[in-house]
Amino acid sequence: MSISPTQNEQLLRDDDVIVSKTDLKGRITYTNHIFRRVSQFEEDELLGKAHNLVRHPHMPRCVFKFMWQRLQSGKEIFAYVKNICKNGDYYWVFAHVTPTFDDAGNIRSYHSARRKPEAAKIRKIEAFYGKLLAEEKKYDRPKEATEKSYELLLKSLDEQAVSYDEFIFNL
């Protein structure tokens, strides 16, 4: 499914909590009604599909590379994410994504709860993401583009002498 982005933003309500669960490959296994309302997708259009179905093209791929590395190592992650609606509109979320473990301590799935982010923080993260996207656009091959922007992400954190978590929470 190809979605053409619009310039229209869908704002979450202050009390909205978007919830989804995925399997180990990132395929959606559960969505709550708020996810469906905001994204404008029906449940049958989401279940079994890769969660990147709602990834907005203005999101740097390296953010998801970083996210997957954290999750697959058993750690939670917080991130600002711009998603796309079925009609092309967009919405920003502050996501908290966690691995779910079985009784033996193995990761069996992932759980994400997303809330309305503060507008001032979105303006800051948009500027940072713009730099990462500009780096990605320098390369024709998606894998190389992701690697180079990932290197820029890590370099930016190093130059600021902060961890990723410190960066996110101090925006």
Per-residue pLDDT at 24: 97
Per-residue pLDDT at 20: 98
Is position 66 within any domain?
yes
Indicate if the pLDDT at residue 1 is higher than 90: no
What phi and psi values does residue 94 have, to the nearest 5 degrees? -105, 110
Is position 171 within any domain?
no
For the stretch 15-29, pLDDT in tens is 999 999 999 999 999
Is position 10 within any domain?
no
Is position 142 within any domain?
yes
Q: What is the DSSP code string of 4-29?
A: ---SPBPPPPTT-EEEEEE-TTSBEE
For the stretch 48-94, pLDDT in tens is 999 999 999 999 999 999 999 999 999 999 999 999 999 999 999 99
Cβ contact 10:89 at 8 Å: yes
For the stretch 103-156, pLDDT in tens is 999 999 999 999 999 999 999 999 999 999 999 999 999 999 999 999 999 999
Is position 2 within any domain?
no
User: From CA 128, how far away is CA 154, in angstroms rounded?
Assistant: 12
Is position 112 within any domain?
yes
Per-residue pLDDT at 48: 97
Binned at pLDDT 50, 70 and 90, residue 12 comes out as very high
Is position 60 within any domain?
yes
**Domain containing residue 59:** 17-165
Binned at pLDDT 50, 70 and 90, residue 2 comes out as confident
Per-residue pLDDT at 45: 97
Structural domain count, the chain? 1
- Please list, in sequence order, all residues whose beta carbon lies within 8 angstroms of the beta carbon of residue 150, skipping any fewer than 6 positions away: 62, 65, 66
Residue type for position 16:
D
Whether this model's pTM surpasses 0.85: yes
What is the CATH classification number for the domain harbouring 37? 3.30.450.20
Is position 69 within any domain?
yes
Tokens encoding 70: 């954290």
